Amino acid sequence: MSKHTPVLQAETPDAALLRRIGADGGDGRSVPDAATRETIGHAPVQSVAELDQAVARARTAQPAWEGLGHAERSRLLLAAADAVEENAEALARLLSREQGKPLNGPNARFEVGACAAWLRTAASTVLDTEVLLDDETGHAELSYRAIGVVGAIGPWNWPLMITIWQVAAALRMGNTAVVKPSEYTTLSVLALLAVLNDVLPPDVLIGVSGDRELGSRLSSHPHVGKVMFTGSTATGRRIVESSAQNLARLTLELGGNDAGIVLPSADPAAIAQDLFWGAFINTGQTCAALKRLYVHDSLYDAVVDALAAVAAAMPMGNGLDEDAVLGPLQNRAQFDIVAGLVDDARRQGARIVTGGAPASDLGELFYPVTLVADIADGTPLVDEEQFGPALPIIRYSEVDDAVRSANGLDVGLGASVWGDRDEARAVAARIQAGTVWINSHGGVHPMIPFGGVKSSGYGLEFGVEGLKSVAVPQVVNG
Ligand code: TXE
């Protein structure tokens, strides 16, 4: 047993997974536990040549995989979902240690459960051939065929769930996939792929481990026909540029800065818990989290107080602590962004209602839930994506102004409106975002398409639209 991996001595289920993917030895890049910063294993550092080999293998395997047909691929994806469930606790523990999210709350166990759910839905969703014309002038049909090799490039915040989002539909449609996980959460994703590969044929789903150079090569590779990307807008732009070379089709789920608007008709006490989780799910490190909250003047103080009361009752701690529902920031860079934005807001005269300074007693990267009131548009904490546990709460008196603020940034992943349902739906229709939730924020469902507008990207995932997005349409005319 390696001296680098003391936790393996405990023989936890995640230790077996680490051994299985060869991460328990001393070779490769050292991976820290997000909470304790102790080394939990080593991630392989693969070369561009190895990536090229992976794409070549996936390309060779693709015709036979497509040739299995929908029924057999669906059967295998259902078996893959069962395999995820059989390994759920080991995956959740490894995810919790590497990513930082607690086992409980809407966190690690929830994420692993979502992987199984999305696999099952991708397996059972029907994408029928459409009859476009059928009369005396002729007959034409539209059906959807596999593209070939799909490149999946993911982030570190929901690494398992987003990998499944990217590959489940792709595999169902007869593509093979090469996955490049974030360098921050490589081990969890490699472990997930190992579990899936227990039931999938060889080379249908291949992981490559490395940094952005591998991501860059995967997205520009001449034999990759589709890139599924979730990450920052800056990287998304680079992927669009490289698609000029290989003409890969793209689904880009980029950053957001989701606004929530609380209307005068809302009940602060009734919505506080859902507002809290809308903003602080995964300790705020979520693409479609509530990142700026606009509250009508008439109930501003009541909403701030109700949110502060909910925050006070939510334990933060090491992810393996069964009581914790909030964890650390995943990495130092993100921690510095959050701490810097809060410090800046304070300097500009905003009011820190709760939190506002690192929770160093818990560990290096812990930052408490921070509510920032009496803050305005134009402050970086409002205008920039914090991607962490700090929520600016902005006062408004005219709904038109709140709508203008919500639409005032160049992103549009999600948004939410809180209050009387009919009033809220009327406001929702005026908001520029891929999804507008009413009296909730951020909930996703495997049958409901999800995607952004503006600089939050393009393309839809999930449901029938998600299957279409990893396929090429083909018309048969005659
Ligand atoms: O993202 P990157 P990071 C936001 C969040 C965060 C910021 C940076 O605000 O602070 O993005 O996070 C790979 N071609 N979000 O650094 O750099 C890279 O190796 C191809 C929002 O994680 O975009 C990794 O696998 N791939 C987001 C993946 O892209 C490249 C979730 C993401 O890295 C590449 C996470 C290139 N040229 C962060 N360069 C959300 N919307 O959910 C890097 N990569």
Catalytic residue among 183, 287, 385, 461: 287
Task: Report the interhelical angle of 48-67 vs 212-220 (nearest 10°).
Answer: 50
Residue 300 belongs to a domain with what CATH number? 3.40.309.10
pLDDT band at 1 (very low <50, low <70, confident <90, very high): very low
Question: Cα separations (Å) of 359 from 218, 283, 328?
Answer: 39, 13, 9
Residue 287 annotated to the active site = yes
Compute, in angstroms, the gap from residue 202 CA to the centroid of ligand 1.
28
CB of 155 closer than 6 angstroms to any ligand 1 atom: yes
Bridge partners for 477 per DSSP: 140
**For ligand 1, what atom is nearest to the CA of residue 181?**
25
Nearest to 12 by CA among 91, 74, 70: 91
CB of 243 closer than 6 angstroms to any ligand 1 atom: no
What pLDDT score does 17 carry? 93
CB of 203 closer than 6 angstroms to any ligand 1 atom: no
Residues 341 and 197 in one domain: no
Residue 174 pLDDT more than 90? yes
What pLDDT score does 27 carry? 86
pLDDT band at 26 (very low <50, low <70, confident <90, very high): confident
Residue 343 lies in a domain: yes
What pLDDT score does 414 carry? 98
**For ligand 1, what atom is nearest to the CA of residue 385?**
9
CB of 215 closer than 6 angstroms to any ligand 1 atom: yes
Residue 31 belongs to a domain with what CATH number? 3.40.605.10
Residue 1 lies in a domain: no
Residue 394 lies in a domain: yes
Tens digits of per-residue pLDDT, 369-391?
999 999 999 999 999 999 999 99
Half-sphere exposure (CA, 13 Å, Cβ side) for 183?
Answer: 11
Residue 8 lies in a domain: no
pLDDT band at 367 (very low <50, low <70, confident <90, very high): very high
What pLDDT score does 106 carry? 96
Tens digits of per-residue pLDDT, 395-451?
999 999 999 999 999 999 999 999 999 999 999 999 999 999 999 999 999 999 999
CB of 99 closer than 6 angstroms to any ligand 1 atom: no
Bridge partners for 450 per DSSP: 461
Mean pLDDT along residues 73-99? 98
Tens digits of per-residue pLDDT, 109-159?
999 999 999 999 999 999 999 999 999 999 999 999 999 999 999 999 999
Residues 184 and 283 in one domain: no
Catalytic residue among 66, 98, 111, 253: 253
CB of 153 closer than 6 angstroms to any ligand 1 atom: yes
Judged by phi (left if over 0) then psi (alpha if -120 to 50, else beta), residue 198 lies in: alpha
What pLDDT score does 4 carry? 52
Contact 308, 356 (CB under 8 A): no
Residues 113 and 165 in one domain: yes
Residue 2 pLDDT more than 70? no
CB of 158 closer than 6 angstroms to any ligand 1 atom: no
Compute, in angstroms, the gap from residue 191 CA to the centroid of ligand 1.
20
Residues 226 and 299 in one domain: no
Residues 334 and 370 in one domain: yes
Does the predicted model carry a pTM greater than 0.85?
yes
Please give the Cα distance from 282 to 334 (Å, whole number).
13
Residue 8 pLDDT more than 50? no
Residues 213 and 114 in one domain: yes
Residues 6+ apart with CB under 8 A from 223: 55, 56, 59, 148, 149
Residues 74 and 140 in one domain: yes
Nearest to 201 by CA among 44, 47, 91, 63: 63
Amino acid at site 165 = W
Residue 463 lies in a domain: yes
Looking at ligand 1, which residue's alpha carbon is closest to its atom 26?
Answer: 215
Structural domain that includes position 384: 258-445
Helix (H) or strand (E) holding 192: helix 186-196
Compute, in angstroms, the gap from residue 262 CA to the centroid of ligand 1.
31
Compute, in angstroms, the gap from residue 254 CA to the centroid of ligand 1.
8
In a mutational test of the pocket of ligand 1, which residue from 160, 178, 182 has the highest number of ligand atoms less than 8 Å from its CB? Answer: 182
Residue 289 lies in a domain: yes
Retrieve residue 434's tokens. 């891929």
Nearest to 229 by CA among 245, 210, 243, 209: 243
What pLDDT score does 5 carry? 52
Residues 198 and 286 in one domain: no
| Mean per-residue pLDDT of the chain | 96
Residue 136 annotated to the active site = no
pLDDT band at 77 (very low <50, low <70, confident <90, very high): very high
How many domains in the chain?
A: 2
Q: What percent of the chain has pLDDT over 90?
A: 96
Contact 451, 434 (CB under 8 A): yes
Residues 211 and 264 in one domain: no
Residues 222 and 263 in one domain: no
Residues 241 and 292 in one domain: no
Tens digits of per-residue pLDDT, 27-42?
899 999 999 999 999 9
Helix (H) or strand (E) holding 84: helix 69-86
Residues 177 and 235 in one domain: yes
Residue 9 lies in a domain: no
CB of 231 closer than 6 angstroms to any ligand 1 atom: yes
Our measurement of the distance from residue 135's CA atom to the centroid of its chain's CA atoms, rounded to an integer in Å, reads: 46
Residue 5 lies in a domain: no
Please give the Cα distance from 145 to 172 (Å, whole number).
11
